[in-house]
Amino acid sequence: MSPDQRFLGILDTSPFRIAIVYSLVFACGAALLLGVVDFAVSQVVDRSTDNLIDAEVQGLREQVMVLSRSDFIELVEQRSQDQDVRGAVYLMVDPQLRPVAGNVPAWPKTDSDDGRWIQFKAAVPFGDETREHEIRARRFKLPGGYNMLVGHDVQERQDVKNLMMRGLILAVVLTLLLGLGGGFWMGRRILAQAGAISAVATQIMRGDLSQRLPVRNADDEINTLAREINTMLDRIEQLTLGMRTVLDSAAHDLRTPLNRLQATAEGAMSQVTPGSAERRVLERVTTEVDHMRSTLDALLRIALAETGTVAREPVDLSELVASMVELYAPVTEERGIELESAVAGGAQVQGSRQLLAQALANLLDNAIKFTPDGGHIRVLLTSRSAGPEVIVEDDGPGIPADKREIVLGRRVRLDEARNVPGSGLGLSLVAAVTKLHGARLTLDDAAPGLRVSLQF
């Protein structure tokens, strides 16, 4: 796997997707929470500021009634300078809007006026320097065309609001990043575990039943699952080994008496004169033993292939097919059959060379048996992207479409083939060997003849 594929693989894992969804939900939650807090805080702070300003406006309105203009200006100046009241803002202007008293340099040019409240920016002294501050204020008219502005510096509140907003954005971004990172990390872990599991599964499918999934000392779902699968594998291994033992016993119990029969017959044969009637009977016995032996061999090989306990190794399929063609070529020539072959190089499969050779030999034996003298047999090995494909094609009688499934079963000989010698297990063995190698066996009409294809 290339780094790119591995990276994309992680994005596809379920933990990564879950992490993405959760971090989005958390981010939205965080945004909502901060929004609500911000709203509530500004409500409380705004109202208390407004109350403060209202009270001040009320006070000044009362003072303007009782004080002379100069005293009032004095009062405004005094309050403007008052260091105890932080953030209080005053401005008194004449009818031409020129400042008369107060701590704001100019009458705000703002039009945004909801009737009572205005909000504007003004340069206010701040320690040694001046700063543009956000001011919330009320305006009201004074006698003689003068105007008065009373407000409060809300820059601090704005600062808090900005800070909260920045915190909010930061929190959302961090949540997303953490979610992504966490998801990525978990995805990698899952991929690593899944990778280990699939590596073991591949080995098990190759026939190594002793392999077990890696289990860590933890009780998470993956480990629990791995433990359960391992228990299952123990059971499968027991059953398969049991099958293998039964197979070995059956082989032993059938081969031993056959061997005695063979030895007895051959022993007796050396005692009788060649050509005598007794000799012929004994020869008949050994011939039958040979038949039984080849049937037994075929059955045992089928059973062995079906237990899946055959040791597997890399097999050069190209070499194998080419050498089988070469092995059978003289026989076909003798029969006047044209054996045509096209073998692509470099095809490799994992499996049993001997069983594959036997399967190919059965296909070629069959093809030769059923192809009339002067006919054609084609053997092809093609390399597809999915894997190699072996095709054996003859122009014999073929197999009727409705019987193609049946011939792959145990010991089926079609009526048409009764007069041709053979155990009838040939194709069953091909089927078992194909299955053992995880390949697909298909029988088709070669029009005329049979076309057998093994797709690895």
Query: Closest separation between CB of residue 341 and another protein, Å?
Result: 15
Query: Closest separation between CB of residue 369 and another protein, Å?
Result: 8
Query: Closest separation between CB of residue 352 and another protein, Å?
Result: 6
Closer to another protein by CB, 364 or 390: give it.
Answer: 364
Query: Closest separation between CB of residue 1 and another protein, Å?
Result: 33
Closer to another protein by CB, 304 or 446: give it.
Answer: 304
Q: Which residue has the tokens 């291994």?
A: 237
Closer to another protein by CB, 50 or 297: give it.
Answer: 297
Cα radius of gyration (the chain): 48
Query: Closest separation between CB of residue 267 and another protein, Å?
Result: 4
How many other CB atoms sit within 10 Å of the CB of residue 238? 11
Q: Which residue has the tokens 């296909």?
A: 363
Closer to another protein by CB, 113 or 326: give it.
Answer: 326
The rounded distance, in Å, linking the Cα atoms of 213 and 231 is: 10
Query: Closest separation between CB of residue 266 and another protein, Å?
Result: 5
Closer to another protein by CB, 109 or 252: give it.
Answer: 252
Closer to another protein by CB, 41 or 329: give it.
Answer: 329
The rounded distance, in Å, linking the Cα atoms of 198 and 226 is: 11
How many other CB atoms sit within 10 Å of the CB of residue 430? 28
Query: Closest separation between CB of residue 381 and another protein, Å?
Result: 18
Rounded to 5 degrees, φ, ψ at 5 are -65, -40
Query: Closest separation between CB of residue 263 and another protein, Å?
Result: 4
Contact 390, 360 (CB under 8 A): yes
Secondary structure of residue 130 in the 3-state scheme: strand
Query: Closest separation between CB of residue 404 and another protein, Å?
Result: 21
Closer to another protein by CB, 3 or 274: give it.
Answer: 274
Listed in sequence order, the residues at least 6 apart from 375 whose beta carbon sits closer than 8 Å to its beta carbon are: 337, 338, 394, 395, 396, 449
Closer to another protein by CB, 182 or 422: give it.
Answer: 422
Helices (H), 275-316: 277-307
CA 196, 201, 202, 203 torsion: positive or negative? Answer: positive
Closer to another protein by CB, 193 or 362: give it.
Answer: 362
Contact 434, 415 (CB under 8 A): no
Nearest to 363 by CA among 435, 456, 454, 455: 454
The rounded distance, in Å, linking the Cα atoms of 134 and 126 is: 13
The rounded distance, in Å, linking the Cα atoms of 91 and 293 is: 120
Closer to another protein by CB, 115 or 274: give it.
Answer: 274
Site residues, another protein (CB under 8 A): 247-248, 251-252, 255-256, 258-264, 266-267, 270, 286, 289, 293-294, 297, 300-301, 303-304, 309-311, 323, 326-328, 330-331, 334, 352, 354-355, 357-358, 361-362, 364-365, 368-369, 421-422, 426
Closer to another protein by CB, 124 or 357: give it.
Answer: 357
Query: Closest separation between CB of residue 16 and another protein, Å?
Result: 44
CA–CA distances in Å: residue 257 to residues 44, 148, 248, 305: 104, 126, 15, 24
The rounded distance, in Å, linking the Cα atoms of 265 and 270 is: 9
How many other CB atoms sit within 10 Å of the CB of residue 172? 19
Query: Closest separation between CB of residue 250 and another protein, Å?
Result: 9
Contact 115, 103 (CB under 8 A): no
Task: Give the pairing of strands 376-383 and 338-343.
Answer: parallel
CA 122, 126, 130, 133 torsion: positive or negative? Answer: negative
